[in-house]
Amino acid sequence: MARWQPGARERLVMAAVDLFAEHGYDTTTVAQIAERAGVTKSTFFRHFPDKRELLVAGQDALSTLLTEGITEAPAAATPLEAVAAGLERAANTMGPMNRELAPRLKAAIAASTELQERDALKSVGLGRAMTEALLSRGTPAPIAHLAAELGLLAFKQGFESWTAVDDDSTLSQRTLAALDDLKAAATTLS
């Protein structure tokens, strides 16, 4: 694959994730992140209000994309089809940077209980947002909860498999394939 050229914002995120992995989230400073990224502290603060926002900035966007995709799916779509539409919309915004960043982010999270807690809360929040979007479509409660959990699992599994390799597959393809596997599994439960 052709190398992708990051801008200042992307370099800041990658520098931060590397530093979190090496020295821990708590002890890493904004000055260190800016230095590693080769920019000034002022540049950092033009992009992010603080260290925490650097990590959660992408999360609100992801939640919005997932729920919009579900909400705007055709009225005739089944709950899982609506979830698939949300997953596709969110997955289509993720490209080479997300793929390259993933193993380092994983290392940073593995090294920090605080980041694990933040990551878990993010995951719970995404599930809740999808559940609410489905309930707003009139999906009955147990099916809405279940379809949202399947969507969340599919996104996690698709992301995991997409970032573990370096091929031409898209995150969307891998996420929808994971959703199909989970749907097949659901029909065999007894």
H/E stretch holding 53 reads: helix 51-71
Cα–Cα dist 102/160, whole Å: 9
Going through 32-185 in order, the beta strands assigned E by DSSP cover none
For its own copies, the closer CB: 165 or 185: 185
With a CB cutoff of 8 Å and minimum separation 6, the contacts of 3 are: none
Site membership for its own copies, residue 185 (CB under 8 A): yes
Tell me how far, at minimum, the Cβ of 24 lies from its own copies, in Å.
Answer: 16
DSSP state of 136: H
Pick one of 146, 161, 170, 176: the residue that binds its own copies (CB under 8 A).
146
For its own copies, the closer CB: 98 or 123: 123
What residue type is 105 in one-letter code?
L
Cα–Cα dist 102/161, whole Å: 11
Tell me how far, at minimum, the Cβ of 8 lies from its own copies, in Å.
Answer: 29
Tell me how far, at minimum, the Cβ of 96 lies from its own copies, in Å.
Answer: 28
Pick one of 21, 82, 133, 147: the residue that binds its own copies (CB under 8 A).
147
Cα–Cα dist 122/112, whole Å: 15
What residue type is 82 in one-letter code?
A
Site membership for its own copies, residue 56 (CB under 8 A): no
Q: In a 3-state reduction of DSSP, which class is residue 7?
A: coil
Pick one of 33, 84, 150, 171: the residue that binds its own copies (CB under 8 A).
150
Pick one of 10, 36, 149, 161: the residue that binds its own copies (CB under 8 A).
149
For its own copies, the closer CB: 75 or 189: 189
For residue 94, the number of C-alpha atoms closer than 13 Å in the C-beta half-sphere is 28
Residues found near its own copies in the complex (CB under 8 A)? 78-80, 113-114, 116-118, 120-121, 123-124, 140, 142-143, 145-147, 149-150, 153, 157, 178, 181-190
